[in-house]
Amino acid sequence: MFGNTKENQTKTVTSTPASGSLNSLVSGTVIEGQVQSEGDIRVDGFINGSLKCKAKVIIGPTGRIFGEITCQNAIIEGVLEGEIHVQETLKLEKTAKVKAEIVTSKIIIAAGAVFNGNCKMGTADKIKGIATAKNTNRTDNNTKKHAVR
């Protein structure tokens, strides 16, 4: 009757911005799952999952995200572990600790910021073109190395 019937559920939180508004996930708040936002969002709490934002994401000094972020712009002052895809500019502040795969058009890394991982620069089309060219060159080089002489 009063048993614990906790189910593993994934929840999606979606927000619609008011003019000039900022969504805020305050320190001490924990979200597991997917978060979506049309407007800017500041995270000072913890997200374990994905964050999709059509505007700016700010991870404050106490903020932590373990998962994937997709956004237009981002400022990281806290911790990110996972992946981040930024359409325009990613800024890592001096308190940032990032262990991630980064894809962005522009990146600014302040002295003191910690970044471990990989970073691909440029638009999605440009990055895709570089990867295709790199794979083609590898195939050509491997063919040349293993050719019978």
Domain ranges of the chain: 21-145
- pLDDT surpasses 50 at 1: no
Q: What percent of the chain has pLDDT over 70?
A: 68
Q: Is the dihedral of CA 28, 95, 14, 16 positive or negative?
A: positive
| Nearest CA-CA partner of 51 in 62, 65, 30 | 65
For the chain, the residue count is 149
Question: pLDDT tens across 38-55, in order?
Answer: 999 999 999 999 999 999
Give me the pLDDT at residue 124, please. 60
User: What 3-state DSSP class applies to 124?
Assistant: helix
Residue 113 has pLDDT above 80, yes or no: yes
Q: Is the pTM of this model over 0.85?
A: no
Average pLDDT rounded to a whole number, residues 23-38: 95
82: left (phi over 0), alpha (psi -120 to 50) or beta: left
